[in-house]
Structure 1
C-alpha cells in the first residue's frame, strides 16, 4: 500500500506541474496605459496575504511537493492590479489590514469552495445600493406583466446563446435535434405567447433537456489508464445531472469530471456577476424571475443575471474538455464518489473561463 500511495503522490505532483505550466503560458502583452484584465488566481495550502510597507504581499499556496512558491507584491493604484483575486478552496491566512487595503483599492477577494460555490466575497467597493435601481427591481418583481417580460427577455437571450454554443462546440449531427427544439422554444418565448412564469420555466426546462442531451456520448481523451484507472462513465460525457444521495437530480456534488469543471466555471461566473451587480448599485438579493425559488433565495438577482451567460461558459468548458488529454491523477474521488479537481487544474479552469 505504501508503494501505491507513493506512486499516487508522484502522479499528483506531475499532473499539477503539467497544468501549472499551462497556467503560466505567455499572455497577450498589455498596453502601456491598459489596466490588467485577468483575475489573480490563488490555490493550495498556506496561502498568505499581508501588508508589507504599504503593499499587498501575496504568497501562493502549495499544491504538491517539490514546488517553488510564487510570491507577488501589489502596489496601491498600480495599473497591473488585477480586477479581482480568486481563492480556490485551499487554506491560508490574511489580516484585517488586508481587508482594508482591498476595500481601499476596490479589489474584491472571492473565495470559491471545492464544489464551485462562492463561499464569500470581501474587500472590493463595498455595498452602496442605488435607490432608483433597487426601486426598479422591486417594481419589476411585483408587477406580473413587467416580471414576465423581464423573464422572457432573460430566457430568450439564454436560448440564443445556447444555439450559438451548440453550433460552435457540438458536432452538427448531435446538435441538430437540440437546435430544432431550442428554436421552437425561442419562437414561443419571443412571440409573446407565454402566459406565466411557470409556463416559461417549463419551456426552458424542455429546451435545457434537449441542449444537454446533445452532449451525451462526446468522448473525453484519457491516457495512462492502467496506472491511474478511471470509472467507465468518465470516458464520455453522459449529461449534466448526477444522482445524489437523496436520489434527486443534483449537480452540486458532481461525480463526473465535466460536471466538476462546470461547477467551478459557474461558481466563477456567479462571483463575477455578483461583483458587477454590487458595483452598479443593484441589490443582489432582490430577484425578479428567481425571487420565489428557495434555492435562489440568498442572491436571487445574481441567479437572474447569469442566465443569459451560462451557455457562453458551457462553450469554453466544452472546448477545453474536448481538446485536452486527462489522467486519473487530475481528479480525486471522495469516499461518497464526489469528483474533485486537482488545485492546478482548477486554476487552469479559471484561466479558461477568463478567456485566456
Structure 2
C-alpha cells in the first residue's frame, strides 16, 4: 500500500501484465476524471449506428494503410507479401469508395486484409543459439500461423504456442495498458467503445485506439526477430503447449513498445 501511495503522489500509473499477455490491472495515479464533452461525444457516436459505421470504416482504413510500410520494411519480397499488399490496397479502395450499412462488411474487409498480412509472415526464420543442450519445438525455427495451436477447434490468438506470437501478444498488452492510461488522462471513458462493443469491465475505447498502433507494434517484434538470436531460456514452454516470455525478454519487449510515440 505504501508503494501504491507513493506512485499516486508521483503521478505514476501502474500496469500489471500477465505472462499470457493479458492485462491484469491498470491503475492511474490520478484516478479517472472524465471530460464531460469527450464522454458525451463517445456516447453520441455509440448511439448512432451510421456514425459508428463511418468511424469504423475510417479506423480500419487507417489501420490497413499503417500496415503497408511494416510489410514493405520487415517482410522479404515474396508472392505472399505481394498478395498481402494487393489485398491491403484493394481494401483501402473499398473503404474509400463504398457506402456501408452494417459493421459486418467492414469487419469482413479487415479480416481479409489481416489474414493476408499475417500469412505473408509465414516462413520468416527465427534464429536460435544453445539448442543442442536445450532443444526447442521444430516449428519454432520459422513463423507459421498467427493463431495458437493449443486453442482447439476454434483458432484464437490468445495463449500463444509460438515465440513470435507470444511476443506479439505481450507487446499488444503493453500498448493497450499505455493507451488506457492515456485515455483516462485525456478524459475519455475507456469502457465506451465506438467500433468495439462495450461490455461490463471491457476496455472497448482502448481496443478501438490500438487498431492504429498495431502495425508499429508489429514492426518492433519483427525487428526483434530479424536482429536477435534467441536462446531457449528466453521463453517458457508450459506443459499445455503455451509459450511465455521470460521476465528478461518481457522487460526488453515492454521497454521497446513503450518508446513508440
Output aligned runs, 1:179-218, within 5 Å. Answer: 179-218=85-124
Q: State whether residues 122 and 142 of structure 2, in contact with CA within 8 Å, keep that contact through their aligned partners in structure 1.
A: yes
TM-score (norm 2): 0.94
| Partner of residue 234 from structure 2, selected from 317, 327, 330 | 330
CA distance in 2, matches of 1:323, 1:156: 30
Match 1:265 to one of 171, 176, 179: 171
> Is residue 2:244 matched to residue 1:310?
no
Deviation at 1:175, TM superposition (A): 1.7
**1:232 pairs with 2:138:** yes
Structure 2: 5+ residue stretches without partners? none
Q: Work out the number of aligned pairs and report it.
A: 259
Residue equivalent to 1:168: 73
Aligned partner of 1:300 in structure 2 is 204
SS at match of 1:319: helix
- Unpaired segments ≥5 residues, structure 1: 1-94
SS of the aligned residue for 2:132 comes to coil
For residues 192 and 246 of structure 1, what CA distance do their matches in structure 2 show?
Answer: 37
Larger Rg: 1
Give the corresponding residue for 2:63.
158
1:142 to 20, 27, 47: 47
* Per-residue deviation, 1:355: 3.8
Deviation, structure 1 residue 191: 1.7
**Distance in 2 of aligned mates of 1:337 and 1:207:** 28
What is the Cα deviation at residue 123 of structure 1?
4.0
1:152 Cα deviation from its structure 2 partner: 1.1
Alpha-carbon displacement from aligned partner over 1:214-261 (angstroms, at most 9, x marks no partner): 000111111222111011100000021113344211122111000111
- Alpha-carbon distance in structure 1 between the residues aligned to 2:235 and 2:102: 43
The one of 219, 224, 231 equivalent to 1:320 is 224
Q: Which has the higher helix share?
A: 2
**2:83 maps to which residue?**
177
Q: Deviations over 1:122-163 (max 9, x none)?
A: 242210011111110011011111111111111111001111
What is the CA-CA distance between 1:101 and the residue it aligns to?
2.3
**Higher strand proportion, which one?**
1
1:282 alignment counterpart: 188
Question: In structure 1, how many angstroms separate the alpha carbons of the residues matched to 2:29 and 2:59?
Answer: 27
CA RMSD of aligned residues (A): 1.6
Residue 52 of structure 2 is aligned to residue 122 of structure 1: no
Distance 1:199 1:119 in 2: 33
The structure-2 alpha-carbon separation of the partners of 1:159 and 1:123, relative to structure 1 and needing over 3 Å to count, comes to closer
Q: Which residue of 2 aligns with 1:52?
A: none
| Larger deviation, residues 131-140 vs 116-125 | 116-125
User: Which has the higher mean CA deviation after the structures are superposed, 111-120 or 245-254?
Assistant: 245-254
Q: Is the 8 A contact 1:291 1:297 kept in 2?
A: no
Corresponding residue of 1:112: 17
| Higher RCO (C-alpha 8 Å, min separation 6) | 2
